[in-house]
Structure 1
Amino acid sequence: MTELTSIKLLHLLQISNSALPIGAYSYSEGLETLIELQIIKDANDLKSWLIQELKYGAIRTETAVMTRAFQATQRLDLCTFKSWNNWFSAARETEEMRQQSWQMGYSLLRLIEQIEPATSHLVQACGNPCNYAVAFGTITAYWEIDLTAATLAYLQSWALNLINAAVKLIPLGQTTGQKLLLDLNCIITTATEEILDLQDDDLCSCGWGLSLASMNHEILYTRLFRS
């Protein structure tokens, strides 16, 4: 990983912050269903689920698409960029997950355009709908952030969002949630290395449990999170 300058590090911290107003906090990515069904009951269950997803799940494919959007932006290769955006839209297993990806992508691009108007040409090139992973890859490439660092931040941001959801749903203590995030550091680092080595034909996931949880989310009797 190349050294991050102070400005690039601050840019990365800002775009991967869970408090970024793009709606990530309103989604549980199947966790609400799993907790309601008592499949995930405590911190250990949650940790096992997150590790499974980092090793085999859809987040690996999503992050791999982010890296490809990053590289296509660097090369100014709009054709490849759009191809991966369309591919990932088709690869989303459920309507809920697709709508989440599109909504967060749209919100991120609008936000970046407002706070840094010089990115307007990139926002227009991304088109609509644009998946969140694609938008994230585009902006981090524009800011010339190291790809390995961007990948690490993307995965940690994903894990933190789900941990924050579980803190409310199980519920868990805030300290327990932070300890769990710390425990995931080695898994996130390993997943980053593996994802960066994936070839295009290797993009796949074994996440049928996530798909079923997502499909059943909208029919729960009560919901805290968006479906």
Structure 2
Amino acid sequence: MKDKIEPFALLHLLQLASPALPVGAYSYSEGIEALVEASNLDDRNALETWMVQELQWGAIRVEAAIMVRAYRAHQAGEWQTVSDWNHWLSAARETEELRLQSLQMGRSLVRLLHDLHLLEEPYAFLQQEGCHFAIAFALAAAHWQIDLQPAMLGYLHSWAMNLVNAGVKLIPLGQTAGQQLLLHLQPVIQHAAEAILTLPDEDLTSCSWGLSLASMKHETQYSRLFRS
């Protein structure tokens, strides 16, 4: 493992993990909107507890682990393995909302990579069969030669920023409270990244029933700001 990230790789990672990346992440709350509507999540502490549990045991842990596997398969030139993990992730999504979110964000990132002339020919099939965001993120990180550990941190931090921004709008939280929450989550994100990097295939499991129930309720929520 390198002691520091190369300057260009760092700049590429900042671009890839930026909220300005045009993949539509800002339009998703991943069930938070339904939890706020039901008064189950009404302050910063409740949102922090929810996000800590997700990082330690939830679906984001599995998504990030698949990102690691797709990254390594790209490095080894194993195109079929990338496709297999993409299909695996489709099967692992418990609700239609969560699956559509992952595929829409992945499709948008694949299209962006193609427009930037970064998508290699072996991955053209992803434009036909659908590509999950974790897979597309891995392809971009590997292409830009971003080391796996910082790529993992960027992936998890991007997820955290999106949910904090959703919480700022929905609970609502102040901008300062949102930044405080992100600071509190930094050691949790670092610990989660370290654990995910060594997670064996047989432990690709999550305790995400709370997220699944919130997502299913959100599908039929009468008034909402977010797509999921």
- Both structures adopt the same fold (TM-score exceeding 0.5): yes
Q: One-letter code of the match for 1:173?
A: G
How far the C-alpha of 1:19 sits from its partner, in A, is 1.6
How far the C-alpha of 1:139 sits from its partner, in A, is 1.0
Tell me if the contact between 2:89 and 2:132 (Cα under 8 Å) persists in the aligned partners: yes
1:189 is the counterpart of 2:181: no
Tell me if the contact between 1:78 and 1:125 (Cα under 8 Å) persists in the aligned partners: no
For 1:21-32, list aligned pairs within 5 A: 21-32=22-33
Residue by residue, what CA displacement relative to the aligned partner does 1:19-57 show, whole Å, maximum 9, x if unpaired? 211100000000000010011000000000000101110
The whole-number CA distance in structure 2 between the counterparts of 1:215 and 1:109 is 27
| Map of 1:41 onto structure 2 | 42
Residue by residue, what CA displacement relative to the aligned partner does 1:182-203 show, whole Å, maximum 9, x if unpaired? 1101000000010001001110
Q: One-letter code of the match for 1:78?
A: W
The whole-number CA distance in structure 2 between the counterparts of 1:108 and 1:45 is 31
Residue by residue, what CA displacement relative to the aligned partner does 1:110-131 show, whole Å, maximum 9, x if unpaired? 11221x2143525414343000
For 1:171-182, list aligned pairs within 5 A: 171-182=172-183
Q: One-letter code of the match for 2:47?
A: L
SS of the counterpart of 1:157? Answer: helix
The whole-number CA distance in structure 1 between the counterparts of 2:70 and 2:190 is 20
For 1:137-152, list aligned pairs within 5 A: 137-152=138-153
CA-based RMSD of the aligned residues comes to: 1.1
| Map of 1:83 onto structure 2 | 84
Q: One-letter code of the match for 1:165?
A: A
Q: How many residue pairs align between the two structures?
A: 226
SS of the counterpart of 1:172? Answer: coil
Tell me if the contact between 2:29 and 2:163 (Cα under 8 Å) persists in the aligned partners: yes
TM-score w.r.t. the length of structure 2 is 0.96
Q: One-letter code of the match for 1:225?
A: F
- Paired-residue identity, %: 54
Residue by residue, what CA displacement relative to the aligned partner does 1:91-136 show, whole Å, maximum 9, x if unpaired? 001000000000000000111221x214352541434300000000
Q: 1:195 to 1:219 in 2, by over 3 A?
A: same
Q: One-letter code of the match for 1:121?
A: E
How far the C-alpha of 1:162 sits from its partner, in A, is 0.2
| Map of 2:108 onto structure 1 | 107
Q: One-letter code of the match for 2:117?
A: P
Q: One-letter code of the match for 2:62?
A: T
| Map of 1:53 onto structure 2 | 54
SS of the counterpart of 2:119? Answer: helix
| Map of 1:154 onto structure 2 | 155
The whole-number CA distance in structure 2 between the counterparts of 1:88 and 1:44 is 30
The whole-number CA distance in structure 2 between the counterparts of 1:81 and 1:149 is 20
Tell me if the contact between 1:41 and 1:170 (Cα under 8 Å) persists in the aligned partners: yes
| Map of 2:65 onto structure 1 | 64
TM-score w.r.t. the length of structure 1 is 0.97
SS of the counterpart of 1:117? Answer: coil
| Map of 1:222 onto structure 2 | 223
1:121 is the counterpart of 2:121: yes
Residue by residue, what CA displacement relative to the aligned partner does 1:126-159 show, whole Å, maximum 9, x if unpaired? 3430000000011101111000000011001001
Q: One-letter code of the match for 1:100?
A: Q
